[in-house]
Amino acid sequence: ALTTLPLSQDSYIPFCDDFGPLNLGTVYKFCRTMEGLLQRPDWLRHKLIYFCPLHPRVCTNAAFLLSCYMLLCRGASAKEAVAPFADIQPRPFLPYRDATFVRSDFDLEFESCVKGVDKAARNGWFSMSKFDLIRYDKLSDPLFADLHELCHKFVAFKGPVQQGEGVFDHRPNKFVSIFKELRVTAVVRLNEVRYSSKIFTDNGIRHYDLFFEDCSVPPPNIISSFFDICDRERRVAVHCFAGLGRTGTLIALWMMRHHGMSADEAMGWLRVVRPGCVIGEQQHFLKSCEHMQWQGNYCATPEARKSSWRQSMCAKQLKEAMSNKRRARQQ
């Protein structure tokens, strides 16, 4: 007899026209479900067929999930995990894109996201045996904290505000106890001032301001200062307005330098953990930084492409999308 069990690939809540990769909680639940099915005594002699609709976005997320399962639960390398999908013609997969409605000019393939998960697992940032799904879901909930642990060094979160305008705006004092639990020693603010840093410093958490424009790329002095802070601090909580673009860009750059990740691998991992990370021109910037020459914590970064219209449009759309996504989560 044929037994059919539904496994959803549609759990991604988009900001704009983005559709994945599916987040780390979904990856974990999928892997646990697959393991449970394959270990059932009455199924040991049978093959498990996993199928999905022929919609390119759904196919892409299905291939990503299956590849992560092979990587995390079956001991496959990243190359081995994605290999079964390489020869499918015509290719039914779409590249992932950034969290805007602006026409995408940067492709992030699902294979790169799998490689990012592989690098993270090898660095000890994630394992199936130690991952706490309840904690991940709680901290990521925009009603609670909108916060993610990206690796041993960094926590990314939406920028707090002194006077919140709604249920999704959190005051800085809310994060003090969370940061104590996560062993955060410093907060880095990348956006304009919307709260007093005294709330953190009075509680023994150092605070740094490294402002640069929304949806833009960091200049060399900001990168150098950020890396200096990271060298001094045990664990750093980073935010901009949404905790996605500027935040993700600097953290990705650190991962590229200190852990040998490619730009695509770093962006892939960040978006798996914290969907929406790295916006617009920031994607091209990270790609152009892959072969930079460093002198200590200083580097002469490539000149960013100029497009003030695109930058402002990305920033506007992301802010609107943050509100829309949180309303969807609340319903």
Question: Which residue from 265, 211, 246, 267 is spatially nearest to 318, judged by alpha carbons?
Answer: 246
Residues counted in the chain = 331
For β-strands 147-149 and 298-299, DSSP reports them as unpaired
d(CA 113, CA 86): 15
Number of H helices, E strands in the chain: 12, 7
Which among 215, 230, 240, 289 is annotated as catalytic?
A: 240
Do 99 and 324 meet the contact criterion of CB atoms below 8 Å apart? no
Amino acid at 258: H
DSSP string across 81-92 = HHGGGTT-SS--
Do 58 and 52 meet the contact criterion of CB atoms below 8 Å apart? yes
Do 101 and 16 meet the contact criterion of CB atoms below 8 Å apart? yes
d(CA 61, CA 128): 19
Residue 294, strand partner residues:
299
d(CA 282, CA 259): 19
Amino acid at 2: L
Q: Known catalytic residue: 240?
A: yes
3-state secondary structure 128-151: CCCCCHHHHHHHHCCCCCCEEECC
d(CA 271, CA 230): 21
The structure tokens listed for 24 are: 């780390």
Amino acid at 275: P
Q: What is the DSSP code (8-state) at residue 163?
A: S
Q: How many CB atoms lie within 10 A of CB 24?
A: 25
Which residues are catalytically annotated?
240
